[in-house]
Amino acid sequence: MKVTDKIVYIGVNDREIDLFEGQYVVPNGMSYNSYVICDEKIAVCDTVDKNFGEKWLENIENTLQGREPDFLIVHHMEPDHSANIDRFMEKYKSAVIVATAKAFVMMQQFFGTDYAERQIVVAEGDTLSLGESELTFVTAPMVHWPEVMLSYEKTSKTLFSADAFGKFGAKDAEEEWDCEARRYYIGIVGKYGAQVQALLKKAAGLDIERICPLHGPVLSDNLSHYINLYNTWSSYEPETKGVFIAYTSVYGNTKQAALMLASEIEALGEKVSVCDLAREDWAEAVEDAFRYDRIVLATTTYNGGIFPFMHEFINHLTERNFQSRTVAIIENGSWALMAEKTIKGMLEKSKNITYTEAGVHIKSALRDENIDEIKALAKELCR
């Protein structure tokens, strides 16, 4: 697929994968993107997952029609993008690898060699001329690995963005970009908001007409939409006004309270999303926790703490720097109410958390006073 007159897409779609990184459900597969820039000299940008090496090498041959690449640009060393470096270097013996110093350290770790005689180490602001095309390298440490860099091709105004602006789903998946890009960003990159903010400041100084990520489609229309979303996500600001209710329930009483609260909130005209943490995709739940500006955590006291699925869910939030939200708590306990205390302890280091004055405190099963608490909480959340 031609991206520009000189840039060609040579990546692959993975429709066989069920869990990306062994944890994220990907019903529409995954793409591993690679690009080739054909000028006086030829640069291949990144490789693909090990299971698609043969197909990728065929794509290179079919694109170059007898020419051989001069450079392999390695933007990111995660194996879904770097697994075929050794095969590429064995096939194209005159090619040189262009990467950051940290990337070459990782090559030694992965392949037992850093290709010392065939490497060009680049840093922030370094350039590589291919003829009319010229790449300028932009370092992006911890977006989301320490060795990451991006490259900007100035004549076509193209940004090769590594894992930034990527999404779940094969490249030909017919689905909304925002949802799967949000789930990808929050799950994989979300911890590193400060580093993404630093990268966005660098990108603001570039005249960009298209973004070529390592996952998902090439972005060329309405770039401000994607950049603005990345700015929202990486600054930990809510994207959507509404209430997300995450609950765990042993015998159905806490579930009943959560659903009753959802109905009350809807009746007051607010958007609400509800998730059973024990039965639904946790990554979707984490996505919604970061998407909405208000969150309700409803769970039972369990072994002096909280139910395991809720405990793990909150861990997922805090390790991604969850912050700047209004939080409400529904707790249930038959002989000791410990859930609220435990939740607040787990969120103690989260910044800018505001707790509602109203809360729901159930002892075993719902009583009239709990229904009154639920109505009061709904009103406060929708105030």
Whichever domain contains 314, its CATH number is: 3.40.50.360
> Are residue 296 and residue 223 in the same domain, yes or no?
no
**What are 346-374's pLDDT values in tens digits?**
999 999 999 999 999 999 999 999 999 99
Burial readout 136-169 (b: 16 or more C-beta within 10 A, e: otherwise): bbbbbbbbbbbbbbbbbbeebebbbbbbbbbbbb
**What mean pLDDT, rounded, does the chain reach?**
97
- Which position has the higher pLDDT, 150 or 383? 150
Indicate if 204 and 307 belong to the same structural domain: no
d(CA 106, CA 266): 51
Q: Are 299 and 327 in contact (CB under 8 A)?
A: no
- Domain extent at residue 19: 7-234
Place of tokens 């001069």: 70
pLDDT of residue 13: 97
Domain count across the chain: 2
210, 234, 258 - which closes a domain: 234
CB atoms within 10 A of CB 121: 14
The whole-number pLDDT of residue 1 equals 87
Q: Tell me, what amino acid is at 345?
A: G
Mean pLDDT of 186-194: 96
pLDDT tens digits for 144-179?
Answer: 999 999 999 999 999 999 999 999 999 989 899 999
Tell me the mean pLDDT in the region 189-200. Answer: 97
Whether 1 maps to a domain, the answer reads no
211 in a domain, yes or no? yes
**Residue in 266, 262, 293, 264 with CA at minimum distance from that of residue 275:** 262
Tell me the backbone φ, ψ of residue 17, rounded to 5 degrees. Answer: -70, 140
In a domain, 346, yes or no: yes
For the stretch 249-294, pLDDT in tens is 999 999 999 999 999 999 999 999 999 999 999 999 999 999 999 9
Q: Tell whether 318 and 280 lie within a shared domain.
A: yes
Predicted pLDDT of residue 123: 98
Is 218 inside any structural domain?
Answer: yes
Which of these three, 192, 209, 234, is where a domain ends?
234
305, part of any domain: yes
d(CA 127, CA 187): 32
The pLDDT > 90 percentage for the chain reads 99
- Mean pLDDT of the region 224-237: 97
User: Nearest to residue 181, comparing CAs of 233, 223, 235, 143?
Assistant: 233
Q: How far is CA 288 from the centre of its chain?
A: 13
10: left (phi over 0), alpha (psi -120 to 50) or beta: alpha
CA distances from 331 to 19, 233, 260, 367 (A): 33, 29, 14, 13
How does residue 81 score in pLDDT terms, banded at 50, 70 and 90? very high
Pair (194, 292) in one structural domain:
no
DSSP string across 300-322:
EEETTEE-HHHHHHHHHHHTTT-
Residues 196 and 322 in one domain: no
> Which tokens in the block code for residue 131?
């003829």
Q: Are residues 277 and 142 in the same domain?
A: no
- Pick the last residue of a domain from 206, 234, 262: 234
Q: Which residues contact 306 (CB under 8 A, 6 or more apart)?
A: 248, 299, 300, 314, 338, 339, 342, 343
Q: Are residues 16 and 138 in the same domain?
A: yes
Placement of tokens 């009943």 in the chain? 256
Percent share of the chain, pLDDT over 70: 100
| Domain match, 291 and 185 both | no
Q: Are residues 20 and 149 in the same domain?
A: yes
Residue 328 shares a structural domain with residue 373: yes
Q: How confident is the model at residue 140 (pLDDT cuts 50, 70, 90)?
A: very high
Helix (H), strand (E) at residue 298: strand 292-302
**What is the dihedral sign for C-alpha 89, 93, 99, 100?**
positive
Indicate whether 193 and 252 sit together in one domain.
no
Whether residue 12 lies inside any domain: the answer is: yes
Q: pLDDT at residue 6 above 90? A: yes
Q: Is residue 2 part of a domain?
A: no
Assess if residue 16 is contained within a domain: yes
Q: What is the CATH number of the domain that holds 143?
A: 3.60.15.10
Q: Are residues 264 and 127 in the same domain?
A: no
- Judged by phi (left if over 0) then psi (alpha if -120 to 50, else beta), residue 336 lies in beta
State pLDDT tens for residues 89-121.
Answer: 999 999 999 999 999 999 999 999 999 999 999
